[in-house]
């Protein structure tokens, strides 16, 4: 019988956006770890995962069955085997090598140009607008250095004016005009865009667990969300959540389904 792997998105699923792990999920995840391995697959890079999920990675008993899959799973860190050891980087892919240096440079130039356009909007401009993560690029018009107040301002403006939707359509058009149809653009979290080679969405993480029985839980499962493809791939064993508190009920249901299948 195949082993069970339950993959979770991070922001909006196990944490509030850019916040630490929701501690009330500690007990449900421990119960889940008794019947399955657990993976965290997120568009964020490893530094954000370590910052937000520090308690799980370093101090929680589930760390020994916890797989860390940053950048949509194009990086994979396997669980430690002893208290004195850390997670081990087993795999890492590079976007620049996949699409070529010239196309990668052109993409960055396009994003710089689009960032210059958003300065005319009533949004905070904080810094760290374009984040290169090895296997993907994250573009955040308000800047990933935004504090909570600045993020709320941007989210309110974006909800009213659909700024990201406008930028999404324009960016997609520019990429297509430059023969970059092999580059995917997705809405990332509440404030940014995840940009990566075609096929490097979160289904990439499934490559590491081909012989496993995989499940998925995420909050951005709509068509332009960065959970959409893996949600569809795991259909029948995938769940949409709207907050960490809603994730509790989902974890309990998955546990019951796994136990009933034994």
pLDDT at 1: 53
- Share of the chain residues as helix, strand and coil, in percent rounded to the nearest 5: 45, 20, 35
CATH class of 4-93+200-261: alpha beta
Q: What phi and psi values does residue 15 have, to the nearest 5 degrees? A: -140, 160
pLDDT at 223: 85
Which residue in the list 4, 11, 194, 219 is annotated as catalytic?
Answer: 11
DSSP readout, 191-228?
A: TEEEEEETT-SGGGGGGGGTTSEEEEEES--STTBTTH
Residue 37 known to be catalytic: no
pLDDT in tens, 193-230: 999 999 999 999 999 999 999 999 999 999 878 899 99
Answer yes or no: are the C-beta atoms of 91 and 103 closer than 8 Å: no
Q: Using alpha carbons only, give the angle 97, 233, 180 rounded to the nearest 5 degrees.
A: 35
Distance, CA of 191 to CA of 90 (rounded, Å): 30
DSSP readout, 238-250?
A: EEE-SSHHHHHHH
pLDDT at 224: 79
Which residue in the list 4, 9, 158, 201 is annotated as catalytic?
Answer: 9
Residue 158 known to be catalytic: no
Tokens for 124, please give them: 């905070």
H runs (alpha helix) in 84-147: 95-99, 101-117
pLDDT in tens, 133-167: 899 999 999 999 999 999 999 999 999 999 999 99
Domain positions in the chain: 4-93+200-261, 95-197
pLDDT(114) > 80:
yes
The contacts of residue 28 (CB under 8 Å, 6+ apart) are 247, 248, 251, 252
The domain covering 95-197 belongs, at the CATH homologous superfamily level, to: Eukaryotic phosphomannomutase, cap domain (3.30.1240.20)
Residues 97-108 have a mean pLDDT of 96
């Amino acid at each position: 019988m195949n082993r069970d792997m339950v993959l979770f998105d991070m922001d909006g699923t196990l944490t509030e956006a850019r916040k630490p792990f929701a501690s009330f999920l500690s007990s449900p995840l421990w119960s889940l770890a008794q019947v399955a391995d657990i993976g965290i697959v997120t568009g964020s890079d490893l530094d954000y995962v370590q910052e937000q999920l520090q308690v799980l990675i370093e101090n929680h008993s589930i760390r020994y069955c916890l797989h860390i899959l940053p950048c949509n799973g194009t990086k994979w860190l396997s669980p430690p085997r002893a208290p004195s050891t850390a997670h081990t980087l087993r795999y890492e892919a590079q976007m620049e090598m996949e699409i070529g240096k010239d196309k990668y440079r052109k993409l960055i130039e396009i994003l710089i140009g689009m960032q210059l356009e958003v300065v005319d909007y009533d949004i905070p401009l904080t810094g760290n607008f374009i984040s290169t993560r090895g296997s993907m690029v994250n573009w955040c018009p308000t800047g990933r250095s935004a504090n909570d107040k600045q993020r709320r301002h941007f989210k309110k403006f974006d909800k009213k004016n659909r700024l990201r939707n406008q930028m999404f359509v324009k960016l997609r058009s520019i990429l297509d005009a430059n023969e970059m149809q092999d580059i995917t653009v997705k809405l990332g979290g509440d404030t940014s865009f995840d940009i990566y080679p075609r096929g490097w969405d979160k289904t990439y993480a499934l490559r590491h667990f081909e012989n496993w029985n995989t499940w998925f839980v995420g909050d951005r499962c709509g068509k332009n969300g960065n959970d959409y493809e893996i949600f569809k791939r795991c259909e029948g064993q995938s769940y949409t959540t709207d907050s960490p508190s809603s994730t509790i009920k989902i974890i309990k249901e998955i546990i019951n389904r796994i136990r009933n299948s034994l």
